[in-house]
Chain A
Amino acid sequence: GAGVSQSPRYKVTKRGQDVALRCDPISGHVSLYWYRQALGQGPEFLTYFNYEAQQDKSGLPNDRFSAERPEGSISTLTIQRTEQRDSAMYRCASSPGTAGANVLTFGAGSRLTVL
């Protein structure tokens, strides 16, 4: 697509429920990144993929968080048994993955609220 598309834009859930956040990157972009941004903070790295391979998941806070990109395009970030502290803006970005400046294009984000 023309830009990075994320859905849902807003998600309100009850504590203990699972949520899945979806990211559709720019067509042809090799790399896909997930960041989390709390209010008043900068984006915090969670994980990233090159094609379908998860390259680094060191930023995932705990094992309730997982991500996949099975066909090297759309990615899903899943949070199991949500807790209130998971409330944040979840941002997806993609980049061409070529050498040089790694220019990330961000989507509008998915705002998660856990009650």
Chain B
Amino acid sequence: GEDVEQSLFLSVREGDSSVINCTYTDSSSTYLYWYKQEPGAGLQLLTYIFSNMDMKQDQRLTVLLNKKDKHLSLRIADTQTGDSAIYFCAEMAPGNTPLVFGKGTRLSVIA
């Protein structure tokens, strides 16, 4: 079955880099995603990576995928107070199937 695990909390100082980690169990996952949830808001897609890629960079965001270890990470450079939110990792099995989400990592940015 599919399972996605994340650490629950992360605290960083403003200006530092944040690294949020995720592990998943389904080796057939085709795409992996990072969503952001701010208080009182819906889930917003940040980025996604195809399973045959190792890395994807988008401005301050860097996604690293280690398919062998089934490990995904999201690095946020120069973390700002506006980055404080809950970050969800999600995976998709082949066939355009529904996404399976982790429990989320709450990122707190200290000014």
Contacts and interface: CB of A to CB of B under 8 A. Distances in A.
Interface of A: 4, 31, 33, 35, 40-45, 48, 56, 59, 91, 93, 97, 99, 101-109
B96 A109 contact: no
Contacts of A42: 4, 88, 101-104
Q: Is the interface of A mostly helix, strand, loop or mixed?
A: loop
A103 B44 CA distance: 10
Contacts of B102: 42
A95 to B, nearest CB: 8
B103 A101 contact: no
B45 interface: yes
A98 to B, nearest CB: 8
A42 B3 CA distance: 12
B43 interface: yes
Given A42-B103, A48-B98, A102-B97, 12 more contacts: A31-B96, A41-B103, A42-B88, A56-B98, A101-B50, A102-B31, A102-B92, A102-B96, A102-B99, A105-B45, A106-B43, A109-B42
